Amino acid sequence: MSFSPQKELKQILIISNCRFGDSLVMMPALQLLKASFPQAFICLLSERDAHGAVSADQILGGRGLVDEFEALPMTGGKLSRLFSRLRLIIKLRRRAFDIGIVLMPPYPPLTMALVDRFKLYLRLFGVKRIIAPTEIFNFNEKRLNVVDATLQVLAPLNLPLPSPNHAPYALPPRQNSETAEQEAESLMASAPQGAFRLAVALGTNMPAKQWPLENFVVVLKRLCAETPVWPVFFGGASDENSALRLMTDGICGTLVTGRSLSVAAAVMARCDGYFGHDTGVMHLAASLGKPCVALFSSRDPAGMWDPYGKGHTILRINDLPCANCGAVICPKPDHPCMKQSTDDVFSALKTLVNTKT
């Protein structure tokens, strides 16, 4: 289904899975919708994670991209969820949305079953015109970066899509962020003058992507001994113990784990580069223009989830027979795709630091 670009949309309902990285990679698509339909009211609906994951409103709220955030109730008893969803259906039907968009890149773990479920929700909300991925592409084929693939979902609207790898990708400033800015300034006060402030993400919520913590120790100790680097440790509360282990092992730095997204973004804006796994923190760094040295597993096709933009270094072991497996937990005991050598990682980081200093 295609639409005339002259058709002015007044009410747009977007439905998506909106975890940390997912919310950031949809940002250029949201910016394109806002630029194309400046008078439109955009509502973003997502399934609220029951395990405390960062939600879309924490990431995108107050940045001028979305006017209202709604969550599909996922917790509580069946009866409670049923009544909550009925209230949501009544509320959203009153909006009389012009269009509904399933805004997700057409790659696994997305399935057509999930797309169909999201389309059913949109119909229940009274939406008659729906745009959604029409197929899910195979992992064994090289595909567009997820930022560009998400933009392609909007192709039926006949909007001027940017060419691949050239979409504007910059996190807009949050309104009324003075408190977060002050906290970030206080946290970074301990960084030595002139030091390269290196954002570090030690953990990942997917074991198949995890580089051994002892390798981080080796690389960061050597880097701190040879270059003017000040590590800034990011992540959730679960990553705090890993960061503290490094800090008690002689690696000085700033701890930002477990902070609010507003504070984390304000601190990241004060960093000079990023080092760590393929995580939401990596996408946050890229969205704030920070060059990344990123450790990638081979579970996804090369380039699919790379940090968007130029100036990044991807450390990925290619040509493995088990590549593109999509595994959450690596079934191989030696975890071959996360065997990047500490020498190679150190060399990439030293090059990054030298470009600034």
Local confidence pLDDT in tens for the 357 residues of the chain: 555 554 689 999 999 987 888 899 999 999 999 999 999 999 999 876 545 567 788 889 999 999 999 988 766 677 887 888 899 999 999 999 999 999 999 988 889 999 999 999 999 999 999 999 999 887 666 678 999 999 999 999 999 999 999 999 999 998 888 999 999 999 999 999 999 999 999 999 899 999 999 999 999 999 999 999 999 999 887 889 899 988 888 899 999 998 888 999 999 999 999 999 999 999 999 999 999 999 999 988 888 999 999 999 999 998 888 888 888 898 888 889 899 999 999 999 999 999 876
Contact 62, 174 (CB under 8 A): yes
Report yes or no on 91 lying in a domain: yes
Q: Are residues 145 and 185 in the same domain?
A: no
Contact 88, 62 (CB under 8 A): no
Check which CATH number belongs to the domain holding 318 and give it: 3.40.50.2000
Nearest 5°: the CA angle 244, 219, 201 is 50
Q: Are residues 118 and 149 in the same domain?
A: yes
For residue 348, what is the DSSP state?
H
Q: Are residues 217 and 76 in the same domain?
A: no
pLDDT at 6: 47
Burial grade of 60 (CB within 10 A; 0-12, 13-18, 19 or more): buried
**What's the number of CA atoms in the CB half-sphere (13 Å) around residue 69?**
19
Cα–Cα distance, 172 to 192 (Å, whole number): 28
CA dihedral 202, 276, 228, 224 (to 10 degrees): 50
Cα–Cα distance, 107 to 91 (Å, whole number): 31
49: containing domain: 11-157
Q: Are residues 315 and 238 in the same domain?
A: yes
For residue 188 the two structure tokens come to 């970074």
Q: Are residues 200 and 142 in the same domain?
A: no
For residue 32 the two structure tokens come to 């394109």
For residue 302 the two structure tokens come to 């090369």
Report yes or no on 297 lying in a domain: yes
pLDDT at 142: 66
Q: Are residues 151 and 197 in the same domain?
A: no
Q: Are residues 201 and 346 in the same domain?
A: yes
> How far is Cα of residue 54 from the mean position of the Cα atoms in its chain?
10
Domain termination site, one of 157, 192, 218? 157
Report yes or no on 163 lying in a domain: no
Report yes or no on 195 lying in a domain: yes
Q: Are residues 211 and 340 in the same domain?
A: yes
Q: Are residues 62 and 186 in the same domain?
A: no
Sign of CA dihedral 200, 202, 205, 209: positive
pLDDT at 176: 82
pLDDT at 177: 84
Q: Are residues 325 and 198 in the same domain?
A: yes
Helix H segments across 37-177? 56-60, 78-93, 112-124, 146-152
For residue 141 the two structure tokens come to 């084929």
Report yes or no on 170 lying in a domain: no
Report yes or no on 174 lying in a domain: no
Q: Residue 197: which residues within 8 A CB-CB, separation 6 or more?
A: 188, 191, 230, 232, 270, 271, 272
Domain termination site, one of 96, 127, 157? 157
How many domains would you assign to the chain?
A: 2
Domain termination site, one of 157, 192, 216? 157
Q: Are residues 66 and 195 in the same domain?
A: no
Helix (H, G, I), strand (E, B) or coil at 215: helix
Report yes or no on 328 lying in a domain: yes
Q: Are residues 194 and 124 in the same domain?
A: no
Report yes or no on 171 lying in a domain: no
Q: Which contiguous run of DSSP H or E holds residue 231?
A: strand 229-234
Count of Cβ atoms closer than 10 Å to residue 114 Cβ: 16
